[in-house]
Amino acid sequence: MSRSAAVETARSTAERVAPHLPPERVVVTRAFDCALGAAAWFVPALLLVVGTPLPIVGLFGGLWLALVRPEHYVRLLRALGLDSPFARRALGVAGVTLWTLGPVAGPPTGTPVWLWFSVGLLGVAPYGGVGDRPDAITVVLGRVFGPVLALLALTPVLAAGGLVAGVQVAFAVTAALGVLALVLGVPLDETPTVSPSMSAFVEWAERLPPAERRLLLADTWARTGLAVVGPLFVAFSIQRLGDGFAEGAEVIALSLVVATVAAGGTHRVLSRIRELGSWTTPLLSVGGLLVATTAPLAVVLVPASPPAFAGTFAAVGVAQGGWTVLEDEVTDTLGEHRDTYRAARALLLIPPAVVGGLLFAVAPRTAFVLSSVLAGVGTVSYLRRVAR
Amino acid sequence: MSGSVVGWLRSAWRRLVAVVVRALDPLAIDHLTVARLSVAFGAFAGLWGTTDAMALRAEALTPGMGVWPAATYDAFFTTHGVTMLFFFATPVAFGLTTAVLPRLVGVEELAFPRIHALAFWLLPPGLFVARAPSLLDLLADVGLLGFRVRPPVVGWTLYPPMSLQPHAGIDLLLVGLSLGTLSTLLTALVVVVTVVTERTVPWARLDVFTWTMLVAAGLVVFSFPVLESAIALLLADRVLGTTFLAPPEGPMVFVNLFWFFGHPEVYVLVLPAMGVLSYLIPRFAGRDLFGKRSVVYSTLAIGVLSFGVWGHHLFASGVDPRVQASFMAVTLAVALPSAIKTFAWTTTLWNGSLRLEPPMLFCLGAVAWFVVGGVTGVLLASIPVDYAYHGTYYVVAHFHFLLVGTIVFGLVAGGYYWFPLLTGRRVDDRYARAHFWLSMVGVAVTFGALLALGLGGLPRRMATYPEVFAPMQTLATLGAFVLGVAQLLFVWGIVRALLVGDPAGDDPWGLAERGIEAREWSR
Ligand code: HEM
């Protein structure tokens, strides 16, 4: 690269980064997000290890699925006067702090550990999940870099301390980073309020042509399938890999790295694939749905070896591309009813998650098979839409 | 905007090159260069020691065996203690001192500048040799080394017979430690000689920081040779086969020698922070130090009395009760000069027009923690209390309130205050303030929780513990991690100031414009 080209690159990068400065704030906020995201994968597994009854783990997963979208919270938070970005992050930090304290404070105080985690979730969830805001690091290094780094950092801690101690350490570090991020100031990011209106939505849905209705059904069935085992996916994988939960967490952390990289790679090429023609959209969606159908079965059936699990997770990572395309299709169809649909869908997913937890308690494999079946129904529904 | 970012990067890069080139000149012997190196080295060692502390707290997060095996925990508290005491606190304290001393006592250069430079260059090999066992162990862990040197687990107190076990790691630790000790001794000699023989400012007009550092250096001159000899005896027993410190009597001989050094060392550590407080509080309170004379006399009193208290570290080891009682009396007596100082600081603040600049914030924090650390310490001076809490986290909490709350805060206050002298720049206030508040919270939570654990009777130096202590331990770890990330902010503030900070000017703290005399800023 010639000198002037290098200067040019530096200048254009600087231009894109400038609105996100100061750098320390970006780095710390991003580190907090990524650390939280990495450790959060292991929460259900941790709950299982400390002896939480399985249905409650399922309920916890359902609660999580329902709460994790920040827009569901905005109205409540606004009513409580807690909707400033600062308050939201402070709630997130408080939530992680409770998660850190839970496993050790639960037993001596006689309160169940899951209660600490559920209350903590009320703080973590409105924070709004991980890395969905573009920032200077996304501009320079992409979305994948941070989560992968966080997972890689978590791996040796899990290997050394096992699941509980390892995740505890990760939470404590996350909480400290969160406090630092609070002190450094929080950039303004406005989350729009939504005003879901169920009756208008139902009225609209009744007039939908069959093809569109099948699309929504496909989406709902597939997500229901994922909800049945979603919260337990990582936990079950760890259980299968190790003897009980003693080992395996670090292998799954690395498998998540593979999945994240695969998802990042897929997203990079997604727009180019979509440009190839209108036929790519259904193809991608079907691909995503097929993985949603087969992945739960795979977790049950593949040999309990690290490469097999890494492969399964990689497939799930690639499938993210398909799910994004499906979600875009759904959004296009819904128009102004988008938010109502999402809010309703989030509530709808709680029961399957609880059922999944209950089933997992009696017959874990059955839960995964059920998940596959539900996603399969979704796939068929989608295929019927494209076959017309 | 983009142009300014590119410009920012460019000027930051130029500054970085300039700073590194200037700092790494091993032939430079002028006091300011060597002082800069000492402070930078001390800060580096401090961060390294902080990572040890974080590793300790990570282990203590869960009651059972957590992220490290027990031996690794023991190795971490050993390297933590040694690094913090010998390679962080003293180099930073004396680095700051030698940076300002010539101006404070009205001379161009320190006495023996070559010895001063030599003293600094003993420190890096000292630190790396002392910590080599852990580094080598790590290399062996990742398969880069065919042999293993187990890290020593003897604690910073090095008590035999444990420290007499055949174990190459202990040899390395002792050699590294003796280099560090020698370095401090040489620097202290330079300080004493400069003040006593070169000074052009009359005694009566000598500032209180110089007085305090003179006493601290004097304590080093009398106590560090004793440590150096104790280390030499240990090494002789280990390498030459002598039996100076072998059981049955040897260990007690060592313990006495060690604490004859060890207690004055406590004051070697705390006096620089006290000196900074006595010096800075009046500057930012807009008043003269209340009772300066009594502050100086109390410092001299500490200098004498601190040699008479070593026995209080032995209360629990079966010393004759009459001897114990006399040590207890002196221990209570040594609290008096400290109380005088506290009184002088608070009285100086009274009705002052306080300016809460970052150095002042850290001074106020240091005074607050000094009271907490002092009160918890005086209680320990009472023999019955000592019997109950000796060897528990109570002691760890007590000395960390002083080591972190007072000493680190005091040194950081001095560091921020003299940063313009060392570098020509000022650290951005926003970072310094955030650093302060996070550190306050961190100290309160961490060591408050450890104090509670100690009152519950939890023994120190243990990697595992009963489950009932777990919530408090977790709280301590959360606090410690906050304290840890606060130091990252500190480092970032400094790096940023070095790279792109604004020039500090001749009166960085606006003292001259308020008519406050400050010799170090007047050329
Ligand atoms: C950054 C904040 C710090 C934290 C969180 C911290 C934490 C700890 C912990 C957990 C222990 C071991 C307790 C045990 O199991 O007995 C310890 C020991 C010790 N610390 Fe710190 N510490 C910090 C800073 C410092 C500083 C600044 C100094 C000195 C200037 C220091 C000096 C010591 C000493 C001398 C020991 C005793 C080591 C031994 O038992 O041999 N610490 N610290």
CA of B377 to the centre of ligand 1 (A): 16
Nearest chain A alpha carbon to B481: A176
> Which pLDDT tens digit goes with each residue over A95-108?
999 999 988 888 88
Smallest CA–CA distance, residue A356 to chain B, in Å, is 30
d(CA A102, CA B430): 34
Of residues B143 and A118, more confidently modeled: A118
Task: Kindly report which listed range (A18-27, A98-107, A255-264, B433-442) carries the lowest average pLDDT score.
Answer: A18-27
Chain A residue closest in CA terms to B67: A161
What is the pLDDT, as a whole number, of residue A37?
Answer: 85
Token pair 């027990």 in the structure block, residue: B70
Best mutation target, B57, B65, B438, B474, to test chain A (most A CBs within 10 A): B474
CB B298 within 8 A of CB B314: no
Rg of chain A on CA atoms, in Å: 21
User: In angstroms, rounded to a whole number, what is the distance separating the alpha carbons of residues B256 and B309?
Assistant: 11
Task: List the single range of A221-235, B234-248, B480-494 with lowest mean pLDDT.
Answer: A221-235
User: Residue B322: which pLDDT band, with cuts at 50, 70 and 90?
Assistant: low
User: Using the beta-carbon criterion (under 8 Å), do B2 and A12 form an inter-chain contact?
Assistant: yes
Q: How many residues does chain B have?
A: 523
The mean pLDDT value of chain A amounts to 81
Please give the residue that has the higher pLDDT: either B514 or B176: B176
d(CA B77, CA B90): 19
- A300 pLDDT band (50/70/90 cuts)? confident
* B7 has pLDDT over 80: no
Task: Quick: pLDDT tens for A302-348.
Answer: 888 888 888 989 888 888 888 888 888 888 888 778 778 887 888 88
Distance between CA B53 and CA B256 in Å, rounded?
28
Q: What are phi and psi of B425, to 5 degrees?
A: -125, 170
Helices within A185-209 (DSSP H only): 198-206
Q: Which of B5, B66, B473 sits opposite A18 (nearest CB)?
A: B5
pLDDT at B360 over 80: yes
Cα torsion B469, B471, B477, B483 to 10°: value is -120
User: Tell me, what's the pLDDT at A266?
Assistant: 83
Q: Whose CA is nearest to atom 32 of ligand 1?
A: B81
CATH topology for the B5-521 domain: Cytochrome C Oxidase; Chain A (1.20.210)
How far, in Å, CA of A224 to CA of B194, rounded?
A: 80
pLDDT for B254: 92
CB contact under 8 A, B482 and A179: yes
Is A252 a residue whose pLDDT tops 70? yes
Whether the upstream peptide bond of residue B248 has omega within 30° of 0, thus cis, is yes
- How buried is A205 (Cβ within 10 angstroms: 0-12 exposed, 13-18 middle, 19+ buried)? middle
Instruction: Show the tokens assigned to B484.
Output: 């840890």
Tell me the per-residue pLDDT of A118-149, one tens digit each, with 9 for 90 and over.
999 888 887 764 445 556 566 666 677 888 88
- Kindly report which listed range (A93-107, A153-167, B316-330) carries the lowest average pLDDT score: B316-330
Q: Which of B380, B190, B187, B402 is nearest to B277 (CA)?
A: B402
Quote the ligand 1 centre to B53 CA distance (angstroms): 6
pLDDT confidence bin for A243, thresholds 50/70/90: low
Residue carrying structure tokens 């593949």: A302
Question: What distance in angstroms lies between residue A292's CA and the mean position of ligand 1's atoms?
Answer: 51
Burial profile B215-241: b = 16 or more Cβ within 10 angstroms, e = fewer: bbbbbbeebbebbbebbebbbebbeee
pLDDT score for B315 = 59
Residue with structure tokens 């709630």? A91
pLDDT of residue A192 exceeding 60? no
Residue with tokens 């070593």, as numbered in its chain: B310
Interface test with B, best of A111, A169, A182 (most B CBs within 10 A): A169
- Alpha helices for B24-69 (secondary structure H): 31-59
Does B89 contact ligand 1 (Cβ within 6 A)? yes
- The ligand 1 atom at the shortest distance from the C-alpha of residue B60 is 10
Task: Name the pTM for this structure.
Answer: 0.89
Owner of token pair 């109950």: B388
Greater model confidence, B387 or A94: A94
Residue range B442-467: mean pLDDT, rounded: 93
- Is the pLDDT score of B231 beyond 90? yes
- In this structure, which amino acid lies at residue B170? I
- Contact between B181 and B86 under an 8 Å Cβ cutoff? The reply is yes
Residue-wise pLDDT for A309-318, tens only, equals 889 898 888 8
Contact between residue B470 and residue B59 where contact means Cβ atoms under 8 Å apart: no
Pinpoint the alpha helices (H) of A68-209: 71-80, 85-109, 113-127, 136-141, 145-184, 198-206
Cβ(B84) – ligand 1 distance below 6 Å: yes
Q: Which long-range contacts (CB under 8 A, 24 or more apart) does A136-139 make?
A: A136/A17, A136/A20, A136/A21, A136/A23, A136/A26, A137/A26, A137/A27, A137/A30, A139/A13, A139/A16, A139/A17, A139/A20
**CB–CB contact B66 A165 (8 Å):** yes
CB B405 within 8 A of CB B369: yes
Q: Highest-confidence range of A225-234, A283-292, B139-148, B448-457, by mean pLDDT?
A: B448-457
Q: What are phi and psi of A193, to 5 degrees?
A: -80, 145
Q: If 0-12 CB within 10 Å is exposed, 13-18 middle and 19+ buried, where does residue B104 land?
A: buried
Compute the distance from residue A178 Cα to the ligand 1 centre, in Å: 24
pLDDT-derived band of residue B1, with 50, 70 and 90 as boundaries?
Answer: very low
> Residue B492: its chain A contacts at CB < 8 A?
24
Residue B439, ligand 1, Cβ within 6 A? no
pLDDT at B117: 93
Give the model's confidence band at B202: pLDDT under 50 very low, under 70 low, under 90 confident, else very high. very high
Residues sharing a CB contact under 8 Å with residue A344, sequence separation 6 or more, in sequence order: A196, A198, A201
* Per-residue pLDDT, A337: 80
Task: Report the distance separating Cα A94 and Cα B257, nearest Å.
Answer: 49
> How far apart (Å, rounded) are the C-alpha atoms in residues B25 and A57?
61
B400 Cβ below 6 A of ligand 1: yes
**Interval between CA B501 and ligand 1 midpoint (Å):** 33
* Separation in Å, CA of A239 to nearest CA in chain B: 20
Assess whether the C-beta atom of B163 lies below 6 angstroms from ligand 1: no
Question: Which residues are CB-neighbours of B142 under 8 A, at least 6 positions away?
Answer: none
Residue of A nearest to B477 (CA): A172
Which are the contacts of B178, defined by CB distance < 8 A and separation ≥ 6? B126, B228, B231, B232, B235
Residue B156 three-state SS: coil
Question: What are the boundaries of each domain within chain B?
Answer: 5-521
DSSP 3-state of B425: strand
Instruction: Kindly report which listed range (A177-191, B419-433, B499-513) carries the lowest average pLDDT score.
Output: A177-191
3-class secondary structure per residue, B4-29? HHHHHHHHHHHHHHHHHHHHCCCCCC
Cis preceding linkage at B247, omega within 30: no
pLDDT bucket at A157, cuts 50 / 70 / 90: confident
Question: Is the separation of the CB atoms in B396 and B451 below 8 Å?
Answer: no
Q: Which residues contact A95 (CB under 8 A, 6 or more apart)?
A: A119, A120, A121, A122, A123, A124, A125, A127
Task: Check residue B199 and give its pLDDT.
Answer: 94
DSSP codes, B454-493: HHTT-BSS-S---GGGHHHHHHHHHHHHHHHHHHHHHHHH
Check if the beta carbon of residue B429 is closer than 8 Å to that of residue B358. Answer: yes
Which residue from B215, B133, B213 is spatially nearest to B177, judged by alpha carbons? Answer: B133
